[in-house]
Each structure stands twice: as C-alpha cells, then as structure tokens.
Amino acid sequence: MLDVCDLVKRFHTPGGETVRAVDGVSLTVRPGELVALYGPSGSGKTTLLKIVAAVIAPDRGHVLLDGRAITGLSERDAASYRLHRLGLVLQSAHMMAGLSAIENAAMKLIAAGIARDEARRRMMPVLERLGLDARADHRASSLSMGELQRLSLAKALSNDPPLLLADEPTGSLDTVRGRRVLRLLRERTRERATATVIATHDPQAARFADTVYTLRDGRLDTAGG
Amino acid sequence: MSLRNLLWFWWRRFPHRAKHEELFALVGIAVGVALLFAAQVSNRSLGASVAKLTDGLVGDAQLQLKARDARGFAESMIPAIERLDGIRAVAPVLEAHANVVRDGRERSVTLLAADARLAHLGGSLVRGAAAVRLDRLDAVVLPADVGRTLTAAVGETVAIQTRGRKVDAPVAAILGANHLGPLSASPIVMTSLRFAQRATGLNGRVTRLYVLAEAGQSELARSHLERFARGRLDVLPVAHDERVFAQLSMPSDSSTSLFAGISALVGFLFAFNAMLMMARERRGLIAEMRMSGFRASAVVQVILFDALVLGAGASALGIAIGNLLSKGVFEPDPGYLAIAFPIGTARVIEPATVALALGAGMLAALAAALVPLAATYRSRGPMDAIDDDGLDPGRRMLAPRRRLLLTGLGCLLATTAILAFTPAAALAGMATLVAAMLLWLGPLLGFVVTALHRFQRRLASVVPTIASGELIAASTRSMAISAIAAIAVFGTTSIEGARVDLQRGLDPNARELTEVTDVWVSPRGDANLLATSPFPARLATERIRRSPAVMSVSVYRGAFLDIGDRRTWVIAPPRDATTPVPQSQIVEGNPADATARLREGGWAVASEAVAQQLGLTVGQRFRLDSPRPATLRLAAITTNFGWSPGVLVVNADDYRTAWGDGDASALQVRLSEGTLPAAGARAVERALGPGSPYAVQTASEREAGFRATTRAGLSRLQQVAALLVVAAALAIAAGTAATVWPRRARLADLKLVGIGAGSLWRAQLLESSILVITGAAVGAAFGLYGQQLLDRALNSVTGFPVVHTLGVTSALASLGIVTAVALLVVAIPGWWATRVPASAAFDD
C-alpha cells in the first residue's frame, strides 16, 4: 500500500519567485487500486510522481510503501527500490536502439542479476500479453511508437513491482492505442494486486481509474471513483 | 541579410545558447590553432633567422660573389670589380667559424666582419653597428644573447678562437633586440674587416662580396662578374643562402609540416565534435527559421556568421595560447642546422603565420557548421531533423560490408605496389595505407561488436549488455573514436619505428666515421661538429707529435661546398686511412674497389642526392666546382652519412689540389701502444698547452657528439609521435563527450530503471575500451606496414642511412600508451554524463 502524507515541494524560478509544485498532498493507494492524478500541465502531477519514484526529495512530508519510507533514501537504496519495488512508464520511452525488444524489456531483470535465459523465459509471457511476442527479437529501433509504449510497460512490469507509476502513458498515442494501454494497466493492477498511479491530463484515462484525484496548482482538489 | 541584422540576430540569441557546448567548441578550436601556431612559429623562426641575417647584411644588393672555401679570395680584386660596368657599389665581408670565450664560458659563433662600404648597401645590421664606427673597430660587437652567455659587459675582453688562433678583443657594444631585432639571439660576433683578418690570419682576404648593380643593370653586372670569377668563385643571387637553408632544413621542415598538419587535424576534430554537440540546437534554429519563411540564403548566412564569430574568437584565443606554447614548449631548436648556418633562437612571428592559424581556425568552425546545415536541408520537412538523440539512423549497424573490404584490399595492394616499385612515392603510399586501414576498420569493428554481443549473453551483468547495445547502435561518432585511435597508433608506430630505424642507421655511421683514429683534434665550437673549419696545422702537429703518448698524427680535411642548393659535406680522409669510406654506408658500387680507387686518386665517392644532382652513375667522370675546379670519377654511391644535403669523399691529395691549400680541419692522432684513449687525449691537451683553441676528443666522445646532434635533429619526430598520443586522447575525449552527451535521456531512463551510475559508467568505459582497443590494434598492425614505407621514403628521398626492422615492441608500446591515455581521458566525459539525475527521464 502506498501512503503519501502531507507532501510539499517548492521550486525557485529564475526570477526569484517560489513555486509550490506540490502543496500538502496526502493520498493512499491500496494494492489492486488504480489511481489517476488528473490535472492540467504544471499542476504538479509529475513532481508528485518523481517524489514517489525517489528521484527527488520533498521539502516536507513522507511517502511510505508497505510501511517503509521512500523519502530520504540514499542514492544506492533509491536505485535498489526502483529496481525491485517500482515499475515506471513514461510518456517518452528511451530504449536502447541496438538491443532487441526482449533485451530492452528484460533490462531490470538483467540488472538484478538474473541469467539471460531465465530473464527471457520470464519476459515472453509478458510480451505475449502485450502483443509484442512476434516482435521480441526485433531491434527496438524498428518498433513503432505504440509498440515502444507497450515495451515500456513490459519493462515496468518485468520485476512484478508492488507499485506502478505511469506519467502520461497515453500522451504520445492515438485514442485507440491509448485505450489499449490503459486497459492493460487496469487488468494488471487487478491481477497482481499492484498499487498503480497514473498522472494524466487525458480525460479518457480518468475513466479507467478506481479513484481520480484532481491536482491544481500543487493541491489535491477533489477525489472521485 | 545585412551585417547589422546578422549582428543583431546573433546578439539576441546570445542568452539562449548552449553555452557549455559553445565553450567546448571554442576551447577545442583554440587548442588546435594553438598547436598549429606554435609549431609554425618554431619552424619559421629558424628560416626567418637566416633570412633576417641576409637582409641585415645585404640591404639593397642583388648579387654576391662568393668564395668556395673558408680562405676566401684576395681583397685586392675588389677595385677591379668596382670598375666593372653595371656595378654601383660593393661591400666585402669575411665570415669565419669561431669560438668566443670568457671566464670559462664559451659560445660557438660566426665571426662576421665588414667595413663601412656595407652601410652603402643599406643593410639594417650595419645601421645598428654603424654607431660604433665599424670601419675603425679593433673590438667586437656582441648580440645580447651571446653577451648573456658569456656574461660579458662593454669594455671587457673576450677571447676569439678561430682557425687555430686565439686573439683577445674588447667588447665595443652589446646590441639587443631594439638594434638587431631577432638577430640579437643569433650566434654571431660582428667586427671590422681589418680586425677579423688579423684574428683569422686571413690578411687581405674576404669570403663574400655583396654587389649592388646599377638600376636595370643587374644582368649586365652578373655577366661581368661571371667572366671575372673565371669559374673559381660563385656568382649568386643574394637569396642563395635562403635556398641552401631550405634544402638543408628539408627533413626538419617535413617533420614540422607533419606536426602542423596533425595540429590542424586535432583542431578540426575538436571543432567537428563540438559542432556535433551543438547540432540539435543548430538544427532547431534552422528548422524554426525555415518554418518562419526565411530564405535558404538567410539561414546559411546566420549559421555561417555564427561559425565565423566562434572561429574568430577561438582562433584569437588559440594564437594567444600558441604564443605561450612557442615560448615555453616548442622553442626554436637549430639542432643540426647550426652546423652550417648561424641560426638564432629568437621567435619570429610573421604575418603569414598568424594568417594561417586564423584561417585554419575559421575553416574548422565553418566546415563543422555545415554539418547541421546539410542534415537539415537533406531532411524532408523543416522539423524532421530536430529529433536527433545522437544516433545516426542511416549508419547504425557496424556490419561487415564486402564493398568496404574489397576497396580496402585494393588500397592495400596499391600500397604494396608503391613499396615495391616506387619507394620515392612512399608518402602517397601512406595515404593509400591509411585509406585501407579506415575502410577495414568498420567491418573489423562490426565483427568485434557481434562477438561481444554473443558473449555478453553468458554473463550475469548488465554492463556488457548496455555496452553492446550502444555499440550495435554505433553512430558515425563511435566509428570516428575508433578511427582516431587507429590513426594515432598508426602514426606513432610508423613514425617512432622509422625514427628508431633511422637512429639505428645513423649510430653505426657515427661510429665508423669517428673510430678511424684514437683522438681527434679540431677547432673548438659546437658548430664545428663535422670538423669543417680549416686551420694551419703545422705548429699544432709538431707539438702533438712530441708527446710520448702519440704514435702518429694525420691531417684530416673537411669543408662545405655548395653544389647547386646543396651545402655538401666534403671529406678528405688522411692518405693512410684504413677505411676512407664507412663500408656499411656504400649503397652502390664495390666497397673494396671504391677504397682502392680513392687511394689511387682522381676518384670520389658521393651520396645518392649529390650523385643525382650531378646526374652521375658509378664510373662516370664529372667536374667538381671546388675553389680550383677539378675533374674526378665516381667510385661509389653512399648514404648521406646523416647530413641531409649530401656528402662527397675525395682523396687527400685531390682535396689539396682542388682547394689549393694544405690547411687541416682536424688532426687524427694515433696513440702509442698501451695508451688508453682518455689518457692519450689528456696528453694531447697538455702538448697543445693551456687555453688552446682546439677541442681534443677521444673517438667515443666524438661519436657521442654525433649521436647527440642526430638525436636532436630527430627530436621533432619524437614530438610528433608524442603529440599524436596527446591529440588522440583529447580528440577521443571530445568524441566521447559528443557521443555520450546526447545519450543523457537514455542514461536517466536506465537510472530510473534502477541501474546505478557506477554500472552505467563501467558500461561507457567498456564501450570506449572496445572502440579504442580495436582501433589501436588495427592502427598498430597497419603502423608496422607504415614504418616500412617511411623507412623507404627516408632512404630514397633524403638518402639517410636506415636500418629496416619491424618495430613490434614500438607498436605494442604505442597501442598500450594510446589505449591507456585515451581511456583515462575518456573516463571523464563518461563519468560526467552518468551523473545525469534520474529525474531527467521524466523530461520530454
């Protein structure tokens, strides 16, 4: 379970102004629950995800995953947390063009020290589920935008994480492909009891969520389900 | 677009520029320009030193009547010359090798003497000295540099040792750069003609006569002078010495040109890599301008103006750094050239040198700026070329390509044909060899990368996976990194290998030339290394013979004689010399026959270049334009004994006839049975008395002197090899920075996945290692072939004695050094790039 408690993150603009990107946000995401953070650009969604992903530290407040603090981790522990406990899907997928789709998808498993054959064996069902099995041995550079987005999802799910974060996962996809990705996210959340958070300004994405939080100027306005 | 608009546009965009990348480009171009500038200043200063001396002496004179030996010609001939039609003024000069000594300090100099008539020609040198009334001077004028060496002051006395004599001379003046310009650092001592004639014992003689012809009467004056000279004196243009110097300094110039070329290449690589780093920003600007409706010509103007501003700023910085480098690192080193010319060590910065450096910097910036411009206009839509992540979609795969391999094979065959049939064109062979190497490098790298990709599947580490992933997607920049390593190792292996081979050829030559006797006695002075300063030897010979340590004393003669533009080293060994010609240096003709014919008389042995200059083959008769022209036959052809213009060996009697005097230039002393060389040399010194003007050396001491001078002459080649390593390391670092910098988004993504910065850095290092080691190994293999080519080139073009070897050790050392230095330097941009925060992956 993900607990976010009274998070505050301020940034200083070049003009000397202080912007509260995240301003006293608290929320909880249970296992098997898909939460959508809905809001316009600049509302603080991505900053919130960055804090939960332990890539930036909050100025105040804390984040707990299954009771263990995420905020204040050392760089090494933060990397280990992201490798073993977190799955991340971003709007732009930066794959390694020289590696095959399955090698890219299995990157987390390889980094965790799992043998390549075993990593491949584990990844094939995930790729099948995402409709990428026929493209498993193709180079990432030859995949389409939609395939890359699904590959990114496969990589995020490869370590079967208890927490899945997605930043604008449908931002670079058309409506049909976007819907397919959202459906996959919801199914996966249910099946593996994953706590999933999607940051989006796509109204369609909100419809797939169990709970929708609206963020405006860093503040959590409303919640619906 | 008007200049005003271009300036406005440039200024408005200034705050939004990619400043780190611009700075990188600026520094990169500046480094290349600095190296080019420093190398050019170092080299041109030597030539300029000779030109300034000529200018300072001759003023407006157009012709010179030059003696063919150090004894010169009778001054009494001058009035008759002055009366010749077409001649307006003449000025006699006497030059002699000398050694100037004070309180145990000494300096090898050229004694330069003239009278008031020289001032009529308008030479700048005399204007400065005129203040001390040159004509009536019974003293010497020292340039500041010589004065400093001797710690002499005006009014003090220095000793002048010349032609086996020693005279004391008060110092009349010490002239600095304000009077003499760069000549204030030249090894010359100026005095009056009368004083110099007394000091040298050449009373009533001069070595040169500078001639100012009446306006438009130069040819008439020349023909009269030639008739007057009767084939015993040379009638030459005043610039003759500069041409002779150019011929003499050809090997040094070639290595400096190579040095300058490499510097220019380094600058260009820096600029090119830096511009590639800025390509995204530039492409964005071009695309925006195209979208806004700017015409192509306006876009080109803006981009080229950017490059010009950058190039001009970087070149100015480079020239400033180069100026410091030329003072501290690449000081002009006369080396072996000082044996034949009084060359100063002053830096001479000519406008052409500044223009060249400035032009090269601008050209590098302009050429590199054309890359994004061409890429943008090649793309279909204005915005297509912006989304570049550092990969080159068209050239991703490093796969073996048959066409490349076959073309490379063709180049290699062409190289082999050049090596076998036309070694004189060996430098063209180097070009085809480098082309073959670069054509094969891609496929070979592809093979290594494929092997790594297969191997990494067996390893439980993410490091080789990332490295092989990046290598498979290798862009042209990765290929460039490997190519730089290949070129660097190729260059160092071939240049260093050829240098060692040349040294191996010169060392036995030095031994054979010096070991013919136990002890050598010759006039003192570093510039007399080849024993070319004549002296009357009777008194010294008698004194030495009286020593019980001495068994015999023989007269050795040597001199320089200009054959065309070649200041040829003429050697006349003693009559009883066992080996008048070093046997190992004979390249054409029978050594035993050559020795016998030399002893017989009427025969000579010439080096390849001299034989070529005179159009001779073994057995042919030729006229030698010596002080008294003689007819000789060619007995054999040799190497040049390490003296690049060439060598001529004649019999002692033939020399005496052709030179018309019995002066020695060295005495060869054979020691009594059981006397050790060092003890014998001390005995000879004692026999000559204290303060003697002679240097007494054992054969091994003289050999060491030869070796030291040839090593100094080859030092520029060592500098080139060292520069290649440094340049390669810097260029590889620049290339790596240009390659990894655009990858930061991907690196951040890998960090977000949970892969630590350490693993990413190790992956970068592994990738760089594979690129560098593969390139270096290919470079080493081709470098060994290049060494054979350079050996042949040195041998056939310059006539140096070269021992052909296969420098495997040198190749391995080059490979190791380039790899180690490159990886150490490459680690920095790699580490820098992997510091990218994981949060950057969120940025679109």
What per-residue confidence (pLDDT) applies to B394?
42
Predicted local distance difference test score (pLDDT) of residue B426 = 74
Q: What's the fold here for domain A2-224?
A: Rossmann fold (3.40.50)
Q: What residues pair up with B563 in beta bridges, in sequence order?
A: B566
Q: What global pTM score does this model have?
A: 0.74
A-chain residues near B754 (CB < 8 A): 79-84, 86, 108, 111-112
Q: Residue B454: is it exposed, middle or buried by C-beta count within 10 angstroms (0-12/13-18/19+)?
A: exposed
Q: B460 contacts in A (CB within 8 Å)?
A: 110, 113-115
Sign of the four-CA dihedral A113, A116, A122, A126:
positive
The strands making up A219-224's β-sheet, listed across from edge to edge, are: A86-89, A163-167, A195-200, A34-38, A211-216, A219-224
> Cα separation of B162 and B573, whole Å?
22
Distance of CA A163 to the CA centre of its chain: 8
Q: Looking at residues A17-22, what average pLDDT do you find?
A: 88
Q: In a mutagenesis test of the B interface, which of A11, A86, A110 is the best target, namely the one with the most B β-carbons within 10 Å? A: A110
Instruction: Determine whether the interchain pair B753/A103 forms a contact, defined as Cβ–Cβ distance below 8 Å.
Output: no
Query: Which tokens hold the place of B749?
Result: 């993504």
Phi/psi of residue A25, each to 5°? -85, 130
Task: Report which of residues A145 and B369 the model is more confident about.
Answer: A145
- Using CA atoms, how far apart are residues B120 and B253, in angstroms rounded to an integer? 35
CA atoms within 13 A on the CB side of A45: 28
Structure confidence at residue A163 (pLDDT): 95
- Asked if A109 has any chain B CB less than 8 Å from its own CB, the reply is no
Position B567 scores a pLDDT of: 92
Checking if the pLDDT of A216 tops 50, the result is yes
Cα gap B673→B655, rounded to integer Å: 31
Give the per-residue pLDDT at B559: 93
Roughly what angle, to the nearest 10 degrees, separates helices B426-456 and B462-472? 140
What residues does each domain of chain B span? 1-60+238-388, 62-233, 393-505+704-844, 525-692
Using CA of residue A70, residue A76, residue A81, residue A86, what is the dihedral sign? positive
Q: Does A73 touch chain B (CB under 8 A)?
A: no
Determine the pLDDT at residue B795: 74
Per-residue pLDDT, B789: 87
Cα–Cα dist A115/A118, whole Å: 5
B residues 327-346 closer than 8 Å to A (CB): none
Which residues in chain B come in under a pLDDT of 50?
131, 382-397
Rg of chain B over all Cα atoms, to the nearest angstrom: 32
What backbone phi and psi angles, to 5 degrees, belong to B695? -95, 130
pLDDT at B224: 93
Going by C-beta distance under 8 Å and a sequence separation of 6 or more, which residues neighbour residue B743? B389, B390, B470, B833
Q: DSSP strand E in B430-549: where?
A: 519-523
pLDDT of residue B384: 46
CA distance B756 to chain A (A): 6
pLDDT in tens, B759-800: 999 999 999 999 999 999 999 999 999 899 888 877 776 677
> Which amino acid is residue B3, in one-letter code?
L
Measured between alpha carbons, how far is B750 from A53 in angstroms, rounded to an integer?
13
User: pLDDT at position B392, please?
Assistant: 41
- What does the DSSP 8-state code read for residue B457? T
Backbone dihedral region for residue A217 (phi beyond 0: left; psi -120 to 50: alpha; all else: beta): left
Partner residue facing A110 (CB), from B465, B748, B837: B465
- Burial letters for B562-595: b for 16+ Cβ neighbours within 10 Å, e otherwise? bbbbbbbbbbbbbeebeebbbebbbeebebeebb
Task: Look at B462 and A92 and tell me if their CB atoms are within 8 Å.
Answer: no
Nearest CB partner across the interface for A90, out of B391, B759, B841: B841
A165 and A176 in contact (C-beta within 8 Å)?
no
Complex prediction ipTM: 0.87
Confidence of residue A90 (pLDDT cuts 50, 70, 90): confident
A116 to chain B, any CB pair closer than 8 A? The answer is yes
Consecutive H or E run containing B440: helix B426-456
CB pairs under 8 A between A and B: 104
B446 Cβ contact list (under 8 Å, min separation 6)? B397, B398, B399, B400
User: Which is nearest to B41 in space by CA: B264, B359, B327?
Assistant: B327
Partners of residue B755 in chain A, C-beta under 8 Å: 79, 83, 107, 111
CB-CB under 8 Å, B753 with A108: yes
Q: Is the dihedral of CA B592, B593, B596, B598 positive or negative?
A: negative
Q: Are B353 and B41 in contact (CB under 8 A)?
A: yes
Nearest to B754 among A50, A94, A111 (CB): A111
Percentage of chain A beyond pLDDT 70 is 98
B157 beta partners: B170
Cβ neighbours of residue B760 under 8 Å, at least 6 residues apart? B466, B747, B750, B751, B834
Place of tokens 């992933």: B469
Contact A107 B471 (CB under 8 A): no
d(CA A161, CA A108): 11
Q: Which of B16, B466, B834, B839 to mutate to test the interface with A (most CBs of A within 10 A)?
A: B839
Pairing of strands B140-143, B165-175: parallel
What integer is the mean pLDDT of A122-142?
A: 90
Q: How large a percentage of chain B has pLDDT more than 90?
A: 38
